[in-house]
Amino acid sequence: MSALSIFAPAKLNLFLAITGRRADGFHDLVSVAAPVEFGDTLRVAAAADGVLALTCDDPAVPVDESNLVLKAARAFAVATGWRGGAVFSLEKRIPMGAGLGGGSSDAVAALRALNELTGGALGPERMAEVAATLGSDCPLFLQGVPVVMRGRGERVERLAPGAAARLKGRRVLIFKPAFGISTPWAYGRMAADGAANYLPGPRAEAWVAAWVADPAAPAEKLLLNAMEGVAFEKFVALPALLGELHRRFGVSARMSGSGSACFALLADDQPVADIVAAIKAAWGESAFVTETRIT
């Protein structure tokens, strides 16, 4: 086993409908999610048998057993019988509490790294099963392309090639305020408010199917996030800014996942400096902003 570096992309939920709460406490969803060119980098090197350790360049990131990278390594060992050791080094760029899937992407990067470095102990189906045990967002990161997620997120299907081509390369601005939003809190609020926040499954499926079937439909026609209701009610800075960006610049902006990160789809020739300035003016200089493209 030698050293290896794996890119761990952020994801955007271009479409996210929560269709109801399950008996096991999870929520069912229908989502079109896409990875982007921006993300973290995870490096792994061999260590003594049984040793698993993690370092990170962001001191705010926990590097103990609560981190999904180490949880992924433990799950890999259980699934394969691997008794080796590894030291992980995480270059963290995806902000936490953002709804961009950073922790899940890092976990999948760890699985992919160990699988490669140990000669492919897990096949694709078993890899997806192990990833699903780590978090609902994890399986989508095994695909590397836009996908439709169903169930609690573990059922992943690649988006039809023609529809994926309409997303590939789209320029996007991702921005996040200094505060994050807890995913358990967001889902808890949705459950407390009941059916008002849920979009029936057939309506969600029809929305996605209509967009996929229309070869002239731009990505802007797909955008929806059913979790914005509970987030925007408490964190009013989010809808205030998104509304301003639409009025002033005509951009289509949404929240990703449970937030607090948002994104705006941009035309290739659209200037971005004034948009960034408006974000900083609204949310302060500490706001996170990065420009990237959908992969």
User: Residue range 104-129: average pLDDT?
Assistant: 96
88 close to 55: Cβ distance less than 8 angstroms: yes
30 close to 208: Cβ distance less than 8 angstroms: yes
Q: If you search the block for the tokens 């008794």, which residue do you land on?
A: 83
What pLDDT, on a 0 to 100 scale, did the predictor assign at position 278?
Answer: 98
Find the angle CA(265)-CA(271)-CA(275) to the nearest 5 degrees: 70
Residue 190 has pLDDT above 70, yes or no: yes
Q: Which two tokens stand for residue 282?
A: 């609204």
Q: Which class in CATH covers the domain with range 168-293?
A: alpha beta
Confidence band (pLDDT; 50, 70, 90) for 194?
A: confident
Residue 78 has pLDDT above 60, yes or no: yes
The set of catalytic residues is 11, 137
Residue 112 has pLDDT above 90, yes or no: yes
Residue 195 has pLDDT above 80, yes or no: no
pLDDT tens track for 135-153 = 989 999 999 999 999 998 9
Residue 231 has pLDDT above 60, yes or no: yes
What pLDDT, on a 0 to 100 scale, did the predictor assign at position 193?
Answer: 79
Written as one letter, the residue type at 183 is T
Strand partners, 149: 31, 156
For residues 117 and 111, give the distance between their C-alpha atoms in angstroms, rounded to a whole number. Answer: 10
Q: In the chain, where are the structural domains located?
A: 4-158, 168-293
164 close to 146: Cβ distance less than 8 angstroms: yes
Query: Which fold does the domain 4-158 belong to in CATH?
Result: Ribosomal Protein S5; domain 2 (3.30.230)
245 close to 221: Cβ distance less than 8 angstroms: no
Return the SS3 of 55.
strand
30 close to 15: Cβ distance less than 8 angstroms: yes
Residue 196 has pLDDT above 90, yes or no: no
What pLDDT, on a 0 to 100 scale, did the predictor assign at position 23?
Answer: 86
User: Residue range 115-136: average pLDDT?
Assistant: 94
User: Residue range 281-285: average pLDDT?
Assistant: 97
Residue 170 has pLDDT above 90, yes or no: yes
Confidence band (pLDDT; 50, 70, 90) for 1?
A: low
SS3 content of the chain, % helix, strand, coil (to 5): 40, 30, 35
User: Residue range 213-229: average pLDDT?
Assistant: 96
pLDDT above 70 covers a percentage of the chain that reads 99
Burial profile 117-127: b = 16 or more Cβ within 10 angstroms, e = fewer: beeebbeeeeb
pLDDT above 90 covers a percentage of the chain that reads 90
User: Residue range 241-265: average pLDDT?
Assistant: 96
For residues 196 and 216, give the distance between their C-alpha atoms in angstroms, rounded to a whole number. Answer: 32
